[in-house]
Chains A and B, each alone.
Chain A
Amino acid sequence: MDIFSGLLSGFQTLFHLNVLFYCFVGVFVGTLIGVLPGIGPIGTMAILFPATFGLSPTSAIIMLSGIYYGAMYGGSTTSILVNIPGEAASVVTCLDGYQMARQGRAGPALGISALGSFMGGTFSIIALMFLVFPLAELAVKFGPAEYFSLICLSMTVLTYLARGSFIKAALMALLGLILGSMGMDPLTGKPRFSFGSVSLLDGVGLVPVAMGLFGISEVLMNLEAQQSLSIFKTKVKNLFPNLQDWKRSIGPIGRGSVLGFLVGILPGGGAVMSTFLSYTLEKRLSKHPEEFGQGAIEGVAGPETANNAGAGGAFVPLLALGIPSSPIMGILLGALMVHGVSAGPLLITQHPEIFWGVIASMYVGNIMLLLLNLPLIGIWVKVLKIPKRILLPVILLCCLIGAYATNNNAVDVIIMIIFGIVGYILRKHDYELAPIILALVLGPLLETNFRNALIIGDGRLTTFFEKPISAVLLSISALLFLSTGFSNYRKTKKRIVEEVGDVD
């Protein structure tokens, strides 16, 4: 099936009334949680995950994807009007977006953010369509050794790009892999770390863990923070940017689209990192870098475009290789698995309706989001006024229902609460949570491929270096690990020398 006829069939799938409805529900909920500080797209996707069991796989994936890229749109509203990011990918938008609002230019800031998001999102869908096929063709040739090395590289890049300490991120990735090894052994069926509990024979589920780490712990952090929202009192008018704004924004939008897409493909890169890179790039390229932080429209246009392009880019490894590059993609992979669909190179040939349906839904979803975010901005501003004393208990109840509904089992609720406490403690000590989720999803894949590669290679560890693709992927992982290890060693050595000097 060529791209044009594939896309056409995707639109045919999408234009069934119920599929279109779930696409709308996804982008609407995505915008809503993007606007509301307190819960991000991961938590929301995890909460709504059980509700997708009754849907067709196409509708389920379309709805969950819509939540993800919808959140990227909605997140900018709170950043601009309240100076509090609705979700992590909108942190950078606070810097100039809020300043623009203070100068009475909230309208153009919101406008360029929505239009930039639309352009970035559309660019990433087109690039995604063209990149997935060659990658999927390459992936068909992958054996267990290549898959093992690819997952190793994903995990290494994820920890390498972590915002905080590399060591702590690596520890969290390992914790996720250990959690992923719980339950029945995939090859022999022997129970592992289940301690006689029937509920743990299937291991710990992705949904309760994700909801605990990202939903419950987020609410607990909010409870402690006691932040009150004060919306900047300004009339949101002139949403369509003027010619001068466009002249200043078109470059950042173009660069943000390409940069966001490329960074989005990287494991752990995703939408968040693309915004920081785009902001830094625009500030470097600008003739007036001193205006950044004071209300420069480029500081809104670039990052907002990049986060939507990054959201599109993140789909590439999942759809082409079956390897999720972020926890959000991990949840999407989980949703595919629940519906008996395996992601990866065979998805395009075995389930073209899902693949092309998702692609088509992203085009239509982007248009829906533009309509939701520009003319209806007043509604989202009102949503911001929902008090926390109502919002937080409702989020908690949705988490509780979501955890129970996964398997109709109260043990999942207890697991979620325990992981909520774990997430709360880890957040307080600056540990990153994303590697845990991704490793939990990738753990069983990593182990199965590792053991299969050893069985095929008759127990020779060199089998991972005999295949050229595998050797290259493992070498990159090793280089990244060594470079960070060396840099950490130098820092520690310097500090110890200083400590000893102080004592003397």
Chain B
Amino acid sequence: MKKYPIYLIVFWLALGIFVSAYSYLKLGLGKLHTPGPGMMPFLLGLLFSIISFYLLVNSLFKRSMEDKTITEEQGQINSRKVILVLASLFFYGLFLETLGYLIVTLITMTILFWTMGFVRWRSLGVASCLTVLVTYFLFTYLGVRFPAGILRAIGMY
């Protein structure tokens, strides 16, 4: 039987307590005939904490973790990929408005395609440029307005 990981449940419990405390102290519960903005979140946080606590107690009584079937080496390679993908996504979110759609998408797509297994620079470049241009024209046609970023600042947009 799979044991619920403790760290996640402790996080849930902390979240539930925080929501209840914040609602009670900062938002105000009001009265039953005039419920305040904190009443519903307070009740939800309370229920959330109770269920998390139940899971915590339950987890302590459960047996060992399931064996992971994935090999350690394969797991490391895939985790590295996941981290690289997430880093490139955060880069996109943080620099989209500063660098502009065209530049930031080109960089992100190059990293993503490379992470996924494109090894030759020429195919990597062609795939990235093509994706940027196709999505740019398609979504602009659909009415999406992309940020120009530094291209506007240097007068190229």
Specify which chain A residues have a CB less than 8 angstroms from the CB of B40 in the assembled complex. 181, 446-447, 450-451
Task: Count A-side interface residues using an 8 Å CB cutoff.
Answer: 64
Closest to A415 in B: B93
On whether the beta carbons of A171 and B12 are closer than 8 Å, the reply is yes
Assembled-state Cα–Cα distance A416/B93 (Å): 9
B41 contacts A by Cβ under 8 Å: yes
On whether the beta carbons of A454 and B27 are closer than 8 Å, the reply is no
Contact of A51 among B47, B112, B116, B139 (CB under 8 A): B139
Given A181-B40, A393-B116, A459-B32, A174–B8 Cβ distance below 8 Å? Answer: no
Which residues, 54 to 71 on B, are CB-close (under 8 Å) to A? 54-55, 58, 61-62
Task: Count B-side interface residues using an 8 Å CB cutoff.
Answer: 64
On whether the beta carbons of A220 and B82 are closer than 8 Å, the reply is yes
B118 → A minimal CB distance (Å): 6
Specify which chain B residues have a CB less than 8 angstroms from the CB of A50 in the assembled complex. 144
Closest to B142 in A: A51
A458 contacts B by Cβ under 8 Å: yes
On whether the beta carbons of B131 and A393 are closer than 8 Å, the reply is yes
Specify which chain B residues have a CB less than 8 angstroms from the CB of A459 in the assembled complex. 31-34
Which of these binds chain B: A187-195, A273-281, A306-314? A187-195
A413 contacts B by Cβ under 8 Å: yes
A408 contacts B by Cβ under 8 Å: yes
Given A181-B41, A393-B113, A417-B86, A492–B61 Cβ distance below 8 Å? Answer: yes
A209 → B minimal CB distance (Å): 15
On whether the beta carbons of A223 and B85 are closer than 8 Å, the reply is yes
On whether the beta carbons of B37 and A188 are closer than 8 Å, the reply is yes
On whether the beta carbons of A54 and B37 are closer than 8 Å, the reply is no
Assembled-state Cα–Cα distance A167/B51 (Å): 7
A224 contacts B by Cβ under 8 Å: yes
Interface mask (B21-47 → A, CB under 8 Å = 1, otherwise 0):
011000100011111111111001101
Total contacts A to B, CB within 8 angstroms?
157
B94 contacts A by Cβ under 8 Å: yes
On whether the beta carbons of B116 and A392 are closer than 8 Å, the reply is yes
Given A51-B142, A167-B54, A455-B33, A224–B135 Cβ distance below 8 Å? Answer: no
Assembled-state Cα–Cα distance A416/B92 (Å): 12
Contact of A417 among B19, B37, B78, B89 (CB under 8 A): B89
Closest to A398 in B: B135
On whether the beta carbons of A223 and B81 are closer than 8 Å, the reply is yes
B120 contacts A by Cβ under 8 Å: no
Closest to B134 in A: A394
Assembled-state Cα–Cα distance A192/B28 (Å): 11
On whether the beta carbons of A410 and B55 are closer than 8 Å, the reply is no
On whether the beta carbons of B117 and A178 are closer than 8 Å, the reply is no
B150 contacts A by Cβ under 8 Å: no
Specify which chain B residues have a CB less than 8 angstroms from the CB of A492 in the assembled complex. 58, 61
Contact of B45 among A168, A178, A188, A495 (CB under 8 A): A178
On whether the beta carbons of A396 and B27 are closer than 8 Å, the reply is no
Given A393-B113, A421-B86, A226–B41 Cβ distance below 8 Å? Answer: no
A138 contacts B by Cβ under 8 Å: no
Assembled-state Cα–Cα distance A461/B62 (Å): 38
A288 contacts B by Cβ under 8 Å: no
Assembled-state Cα–Cα distance A410/B149 (Å): 12
A10 → B minimal CB distance (Å): 25
Contact of A175 among B48, B55, B93 (CB under 8 A): B48
On whether the beta carbons of B105 and A397 are closer than 8 Å, the reply is yes
Given A181-B44, A388-B116, A410-B93, A455–B35 Cβ distance below 8 Å? Answer: yes
On whether the beta carbons of B82 and A224 are closer than 8 Å, the reply is yes
On whether the beta carbons of B39 and A451 are closer than 8 Å, the reply is yes
Closest to A491 in B: B58
Assembled-state Cα–Cα distance A430/B5 (Å): 11
- Residues of B bordering A, CB below 8 Å: 2, 4-5, 8, 12, 15, 19, 22-23, 27, 31-41, 44-45, 47-48, 51-52, 54-55, 58, 61-62, 74, 78-79, 81-82, 85-86, 89-90, 92-94, 96-97, 105, 108-109, 112-113, 116-118, 127, 131, 135, 139, 142-147
- Residue pairs across A and B with Cβ atoms less than 8 A apart, 28 shown, are A54-B142, A168-B55, A174-B44, A174-B47, A177-B44, A178-B15, A178-B45, A188-B36, A190-B27, A192-B37, A192-B38, A223-B85, A226-B74, A393-B113, A400-B105, A404-B96, A404-B146, A405-B139, A410-B97, A410-B147, A416-B93, A417-B93, A446-B40, A458-B33, A459-B31, A459-B34, A460-B32, A496-B61
The 9 A-B residue pairs whose C-beta atoms are closest, nearest first, are A459-B33, A459-B32, A185-B37, A54-B143, A413-B93, A393-B112, A389-B116, A389-B117, A405-B144
Knowing that A410-B96, A455-B33 are A-B contacts, what are 15 other residue pairs whose CB atoms are under 8 Å apart, sorted by A's residue number?
Answer: A174-B51, A177-B44, A178-B41, A190-B27, A192-B38, A393-B112, A393-B116, A396-B112, A404-B146, A414-B93, A451-B39, A459-B31, A492-B61, A496-B61, A499-B61
